[in-house]
Structure formats: structure tokens, C-alpha cells
Amino acid sequence: MRNTTIKWLGVTAALTLALTACEGEGAGSGGADPDAEPEDLTVGVAMPTQTYERWVSDGNNIEAQLEEAGYNVELQYADDDIPTQSQQIDQMITQEVDALIIASIDGSALSGQLDAAADAGIPVIAYDRLIRDSEHVDFYVTFDNYEVGVNQAQSLLYGLGVLDENFEEANDAPEGPLNVELFAGSLDDNNAHFFWDGAMDTLEPYFDDGTLEVPSGQMDIEQAATQRWEQETAQQRMENLLTTHYSGGEELDGVLAPADPLSRGIINALRNDGWGETIEDGLPVVTGQDAEIATISLISEGVQHSTIFKDTRDLAEQAVIAAQAFLDGEEPEPNNTEDYDNGEIVVPSYLLDVQMILENNYEEILVDSGYYTEEQVESGQL
């Protein structure tokens, strides 16, 4: 692993030298002039969709921070449509942007765009989601995605009473078996696999010793996946699971859900099927991710059990720092050079920490810090 990294850094250094040597050969041939003023440089930002609250904040934060540093910004959303995103990136390359920040829809669908960017000397920063199958991903900024999955599973185990508030084995843990169902994200998103692996590695001992059971038997990521992370798809799958496996009075104690909109779809299905309005009156424990405002509202009302907070302001900041380094003719500093192999190279990465949010800590982490106001939590709207 280490050798690959060192080799890769060597290649990067050689590439940087080659790119520097090409400078001044005309537009598009060698990347930005490191002495150029930010006002003369443009950063292309490709985001997947506006249907998830987080990507809207990500886009706004990146744009604001780049503009603050003096750069021009070309920000595009692709409505979760793969050809649209490819076209948008093609167009940014044709327009000769000086750096690209990309949150991909399908992580394996952008090799052609990345080849063209490399030919034009445009550095590419993968944002939150790894871009796969290309040697031309120059840097990756993200959260600790495996840890997201671990936190989701731990919060589920805590909600089920298997772990105590210190996330250690609870003294008064229920006998079991406890029934859970599992949901995963979109298979074309590299993160979905990291979330799933973190969660399943954490849950596995409890499946093995019979504490937990999955009555549907759907325990592979392919069976649990939610194409394009769509809320409606998760809601429908939950409805089907309830009809097929829980119509004879079987208990359902918890649901592993990987993102807040999916959690809300799952909760809709459960409420419509009469499982109760809150956890206290029978709703199974449902996890989440992204700390969306509608979900924090549900957590404050004891409806959704947990979510994972990933501060997108910090992620935007890391993307801007990386872009700035490339535009200044330097290399950004990774804090992880081992975990994100994209099938071609191990991409130098910068990982940020994540935080588990529960009913007993959302106030302190999200309201007292000023991230959300009490009114926003009450209304469930920004």
C-alpha cells in the first residue's frame, strides 16, 4: 500500500513538472498559470442534485468560499441525471475552467471527462464521493465514510437497548432476537459501500450470536440498495417488506437507513401501516445521515431515532483549500493515503470527522452551535 502511495506521489510530482513545463503553450494545454490572480481563474463545480438538502448547502458553501478567495465560479447541478452531469463537465472543460470540483452521480461514469481534464491540465478534486476507474483524480475531500456506517449501526444498537449510552454492552440488554431490516444507498456511489461495510462490520457479531435477526433475509447490499438514493424507492421497499414479512403480527424493532430522506420514506411507510407515531408508541428505531432540518425536527419529536452530522461548511473549506493549492502550482496535503483506491490509483484524500446525533444531543451540537435555530427545528424548515 505504502509503495503504491509513494509511487503515486512520484507520478504526481512528475506530472506537475510536466504540466509546469507546458505552461504558456496556449489555452488549455498546461493548466492555470500559478502566478495568475484569482480574479482571472474559474473553478467549475459539478453537484449531483438539489433534491437532497446537503448538496444545496455544499454548492452554496463552495461557491461562497471560492468567491471570498477571489475566484470565479461555475456551479452546476445535474438533477441526478448521469448524461446531464457528463455534459456539464464537458462544457466546463471546453470553457477552460482552471480547476474542477466534482460530486459525481455515478462514480464510474466520468472517465472520459477526467481524461479530457487531464489533457487540458485541469486538476480534478472529487468532492464527498470518490470518482472511480480513472487515474486522473488528483485529490479527494470527504468524511470518514466507514465511520458513518459504524455510527449508524451503533446508534441502532443503542436505540434497541443492546448498547448503553457509552456504546458499551448494556447490562439490561433485551434477550432477543430483535428484528431489524437493512437499507443501503445507491450502488454506483462509492460511499454507499463504505457506509454499508462500516455498519455491517459493527452489526455482524449481533447477527452471529442471535441478538439480531433480519426476517426478510435481505442482508446483501444489492438487496438493500436504493437506486439514486430516492426517498420514494425506500418507502416502496419498506411497504413491500411490511406486506410480505410483517403482516402476521411479527415485530419490527429497528431499521438501518443510510440517509435522512430515505429514513423519512421508511418512517412514512411505517406510520401509514399503523406502527405508531413516535418511537415511544411503537415506531421502530430508524437511523439516518446528513442531519437534514426535517429530520432534526423528527428527532426532537421522538420520531426518528438518529442521524449523522457531517458539517458541509468544513468539507467545502477543504475543497477550496485543495483547489487553491493546485491553482498556486502546489499539492494539497492529504490526511489519508490508504483507504480510497478507485480501481486505478489510491487517491490522496482528506477525511473529516462525523458526529452521531440523537434526541439527547441535537440541541448542544446543532442548536447551541448556531448551525440551526430553535425555530427551524420546530418548523422542520430552513
| Residue 157: all three cell numbers together | 444498537
Q: How far is the CB of 95 from ligand BGC (least distance, A)?
A: 26
Q: In the complex, which residue's CB is closest to ligand BGC?
A: 259
CB closer to ligand BGC, 185 vs 334: 185
Q: How far is the CB of 8 from ligand BGC (least distance, A)?
A: 24
| Residue 28: all three cell numbers together | 488549455
Instruction: State the burial class of residue 159 (Cβ atoms within 10 Å of its Cβ: 0-12, 13-18, 19+).
Output: buried
Q: How far is the CB of 248 from ligand BGC (least distance, A)?
A: 34
Q: How far is the CB of 299 from ligand BGC (least distance, A)?
A: 16
Q: What angle do CA 239, 241, 244 make, to 5 degrees?
A: 105
Contact 118, 136 (CB under 8 A): yes
DSSP 29-64: TS---TTS-GGG-EEEEEE--SSSHHHHHHHHHHHH
CB closer to ligand BGC, 72 vs 355: 355
Residues that bind ligand BGC (CB under 6 A): 52, 54, 128-129, 185, 189, 191, 229, 259, 289-290
H-assigned helices in the chain = 2-22, 53-68, 82-94, 111-119, 145-159, 190-208, 221-224, 231-245, 260-272, 293-300, 312-327, 362, 374-379
Q: What backbone phi and psi angles, to 5 degrees, belong to 352?
A: -105, 155
Provide CB contacts within 8 A for 70, sequence distance 6+. 37, 38, 39
CB closer to ligand BGC, 63 vs 290: 290
Q: Which residues of 213-244 are buried (b: 16+ CB within 10 A; e: fewer)?
A: ebbbebeebeebbbebbbbebbbebbbebbee
CB closer to ligand BGC, 129 vs 136: 129
CB closer to ligand BGC, 189 vs 359: 189
What is the total residue count of the chain? 382
Q: How far is the CB of 166 from ligand BGC (least distance, A)?
A: 26
Quick check: bond before 177 cis, omega within 30? yes
Helix (H, G, I), strand (E, B), or coil: what is residue 264?
A: helix
Q: How far is the CB of 161 from ligand BGC (least distance, A)?
A: 27
> Closest Cα partner for 58 from 240, 378, 277, 313?
313
CB closer to ligand BGC, 71 vs 372: 372
> Strands 285-286 and 254-256: what pairing?
parallel
Largest CA distance in the chain: 73
CB closer to ligand BGC, 185 vs 348: 185
CB closer to ligand BGC, 140 vs 229: 229
Q: How far is the CB of 298 from ligand BGC (least distance, A)?
A: 16
DSSP 293: H
Q: How far is the CB of 195 from ligand BGC (least distance, A)?
A: 8
Q: How far is the CB of 259 from ligand BGC (least distance, A)?
A: 4
CB closer to ligand BGC, 63 vs 189: 189
